[in-house]
A and B are shown apart, each in its own frame.
Chain A
Amino acid sequence: MSNRKPYVRKQYWNEPTMGWYERSYLFEVVRGLAITGGVFLRNMGKWMSGRKGALTSYYPEETRADYAPGNRGKHILTMRPDGRPQCVACNMCATVCPAQVIEIDGAFDPDDPSHPKYPSRFEIDYSRCIFCGLCVEACPEDAIRMMKETPDLPGPDRHQMWLGKEELLNWQPRQDVAKPYPAAPGSDAGARRHEP
């Protein structure tokens, strides 16, 4: 114990140097109050004159203007011209998904020889999705995409954060215009709705 050196505070290279002006504290306090009060008056003036005086936004109602166009947000399933999903239930997205949150049940539609396999169930668990976008890259049919918006993602518990096929198809309906899809023979395409 006795051979212990007394504690010496380390001197840092950027040790603050304060003159009497800073040390007396009151002047610097007044300067700080002037800065914050100025910001308050500026923002208050903006609010009063009908402009927005904040840098933040009322989030779900108002999204930021500089939301990245390539933002990986909520998924959609693209539609064929007749409104049925373009997905062929190949399970590639479910396979590549690192969080393993995509569940697909494939089904067979004998009436539609050009697109016989379709998903009877397509669900994503948003409580575990990591928004990596690998499902979009893996999809050979451009059937799953990610929009930049993320509306209504939070849920009161994890069981209510599963997104089903209907919502994926319909929350922001998109068709794949790049791929001309032949109409099913003997049917007027577009009028026929899918019957699972």
Chain B
Amino acid sequence: MNAQDFAVSLVYVGYALAVLLTFGAILTWVERKQAAIMSDRIGANRAYVRIPFTNVKLIWLGLFHGMADGLKLLLKEDFKPKAYDQLAYTLGPWLAIVPVLLVFAVVPFGGVLNPGLLFPGLADWFGGRTYSMQIAPIDAGLLIVFAFSGISIIGAMLAGWSSANKFSLLGALRAGSQLISYELVMGLTVLGIVLVFGTVNLSSLVNQQSGVVLGFLPAWGIVYQPFAAVLFMIAGIAENKRIPFDLPEAESELISGYFTEYSAMKQGVFMLSEFIEIAIIGALFVTLFLGGYNLPFMNDAGFTFPGGSVVPLSHGWVVVIQLLTFLGKVFLLCSFQILVRWTLPRFRWDQLLRFAWRFLLPLSIINLVVTAGVLWAQA
């Protein structure tokens, strides 16, 4: 790795962290506001920032409620249970949030970047190098995603086990079995996509989705694999432990599940990781099924419409459109997940596992077999 690569990587990491943490913070507000609008209410509207020395109060539709919550969590007393396993208890929140952040490392958030073309002053220094907009351009991208989301199970289990609380323990057990079940479903649904595109490299996966299928449809994963898309979304929401799959932290039964005994910012980290994971699920869904960072019929050179007309775009415009498209798609999917969360009631525990093992798993296996059969017949 030379200096140029290092600089580009630093910029990517900064961008990814900024995007993820912003999503985490904004989604707390979006969740409250969208829930309010869905139920004919106004929603968060009181927290304000007063411009110093004036009487001007900025409310901005309640955007500052997230800031107020964060500030409260930072300043709260860090109350710990008396009998707890100190190491595991402290590791819990970190193991919950770090894998979630790491998953984004392999998700491509833009096409190929040519910094020399973008900033002519740096053209000599970069010397025509190009970088795909992805922190870690690894061939095994999809496998990394599953490896890291497997680690986050350990975070939940550790947190529940170490806090010496029966509710936490029950929540941790539920989290463990639920995550393992739905991880399996998720893996099997994604296998269909892997079969269709023949790769687990996420950026090549997205590149292949910029074409056209049947003459007019964008060649997105959701066109090839509509059932897999639905199953992946269900499994993704279950992975994220959100309603209707929020049994590990079911308030009415387990207080707060595996993070009952966490307070202050440790609990805040769990919440933040949940909200970031909404964005991660959205990003994965976009990458696998919705053509990633490209608009329909778009690739790194510009638009190629089905009629054969080509609209070439300059490199700067392509980069901007790709970044914005990716963020917009991810935001729409986050909004959809919030819609699901405020619409459906919670499962019962046995229903949850039955749904995974007797409904989703057979369906995903059928989907895989049919896909393999069709591909074999075509080949």
- Decide if B40 is an interface residue (CB 8 Å cutoff): yes
Which of A26, A33, A40, A55 has most chain B Cβ within 10 Å? A40
- The reply to whether the CB of B37 lies closer than 8 angstroms to some CB of chain A is yes
Is the pair B37, A43 in contact by a Cβ cutoff of 8 Å? yes
Establish whether residues B38 and A56, one from each chain, have CB atoms under 8 Å apart when the complex forms: no
Separation of A83 and B180 alpha carbons in the complex (Å)? 77
B343 touches A32 (CB 8 A): yes
Q: Are B339 and A56 in contact (CB under 8 A)?
A: no
| Number of chain B residues whose Cβ lies closer than 8 Å to a Cβ of chain A | 16
Nearest residue, chain B, Cβ from A38: B38
List residues 1-55 of chain B with CB under 8 A from any CB of chain A.
Answer: 34, 36-42, 45
Instruction: Report whether A32 and B34 are in contact in the complex, using a CB–CB cutoff of 8 Å.
Output: no
Contact A29 B42 (CB under 8 A): no
Contact B37 A40 (CB under 8 A): yes
| Docked CA distance A158–B337 (Å) | 44
Give min CB distance, A116 to chain B, whole Å: 46
Known: A32-B343, A33-B343, A36-B342. A58 touches B45 (CB 8 A): yes
CB distance from A62 to the nearest CB of B (A): 10
Q: Are B343 and A56 in touch, CB under 8 angstroms?
A: no
Alpha-carbon separation in the docked complex, A25 to B358 (Å): 13
B8 vs chain A, min Cβ distance (A) = 39
A39 lies within 8 A of chain B by Cβ:
yes
Enumerate chain B residues within 8 angstroms of A35, measured Cβ to Cβ.
343
Contacting residues of chain A (22-62) with chain B, CB-CB under 8 angstroms: 25-26, 29, 32-33, 35-37, 39-40, 43-44, 47, 53-58
Give B contacts to A, CB under 8 Å: 34, 36-42, 45, 230, 339-340, 342-344, 355
Residues from chain B with a CB closer than 8 A to the CB of A29 are 343-344
Set of chain A residues within 8 Å of B34, measured between Cβ atoms: 40
Q: Which of A26, A33, A57 contacts B339 (CB 8 A)?
A: A33
Residues of A55-73 whose CB lies within 8 A of B: 55-58
**Choice from A25, A26, A44 contacting B37 with Cβ under 8 Å:** A44
Measured CB to CB, the residues of A under 8 A from B are 25-26, 29, 32-33, 35-37, 39-40, 43-44, 47, 53-58
Q: Are A54 and B45 in contact (CB under 8 A)?
A: no
Asked if B343 and A54 sit within 8 Å, CB to CB, the answer is no
Residues of A within 8 Å of B42, CB to CB, are 54, 56-58
- By beta carbon, the residue of chain B nearest A28 is B344
Q: How near does chain B come to A25, taking the closest CB pair, in angstroms? A: 8
* Measured CA separation A56–B42 after assembly (Å): 7
A54–B36 contact, CB under 8 A?
A: yes
Given contacts A40-B34, A58-B45, contact A33 B340 (CB under 8 A): yes
* Beta-carbon contact of A54 and B40 below 8 Å: yes
B307 to chain A, nearest CB (A): 32
Give CA–CA (A43, B33) in the complex, Å: 12
* Residue from the set A33, A36, A43 with the largest chain B CB neighbour count within 10 Å: A36
Contact present for B344 and A54 (CB under 8 Å): no
Extra A-B contacts (13), CB below 8 Å, given A33-B343, A54-B37: A29-B344, A33-B339, A33-B340, A35-B343, A36-B339, A36-B343, A37-B339, A40-B38, A54-B40, A54-B41, A55-B40, A55-B41, A57-B42
Instruction: Find the A residue at minimum CB distance from B335.
Output: A40
Q: How far is the CB of B276 from chain A (nearest CB, A)?
A: 23
Could you list 19 examples of A-B contacts with CB < 8 Å? A29-B343, A35-B343, A36-B339, A36-B342, A36-B343, A37-B339, A39-B38, A39-B39, A39-B40, A40-B34, A40-B37, A40-B38, A40-B339, A43-B40, A47-B37, A54-B37, A56-B42, A58-B42, A58-B45
9 smallest beta-carbon distances between A and B, as pairs? A55-B40, A36-B343, A40-B38, A54-B42, A43-B37, A32-B343, A56-B41, A36-B38, A54-B40
The minimal Cβ–Cβ distance linking A24 to chain B, given in whole angstroms, is: 9
Residue of B nearest to A57 (CB): B42
**Docked-complex contact B344 and A56, CB < 8 angstroms:** no
For A26, list chain B residues within 8 Å (CB): 230
Please give, as numbers and ranges, the residues of chain A lying within 8 Å of B339 by CB-CB distance: 33, 36-37, 40
Shortest C-beta distance, A61 to chain B (Å), equals 10
* Inter-subunit contact B37/A53 (CB<8 Å): yes
| Residue ID in chain B nearest A35 by CB atoms | B343
Return A110 CB to nearest CB of chain B, in Å. Answer: 47
User: Closest Cβ of chain B: how far from A41's Cβ, in Å?
Assistant: 9
Residues of chain B lying within 8 A (CB to CB) of residue A36: 38, 339, 342-343
CB neighbours of B355 from chain A (8 A)? 25
The minimal Cβ–Cβ distance linking A97 to chain B, given in whole angstroms, is 34
Complex formed: what's the CA distance from A44 to B43 in Å?
13
In the bound complex, CA of A54 to CA of B45 (Å): 13
Which of B230, B343, B344 has most A Cβ within 10 Å? B343
A124 smallest CB distance to B (angstroms): 28
Task: Report chain A residues within 8 Å CB of B45.
Answer: 58
How many Å from the CB of B274 to the closest CB on chain A?
21
Q: Who on chain A is nearest to B339 by CB?
A: A37
A96: min CB distance to chain B, Å: 39
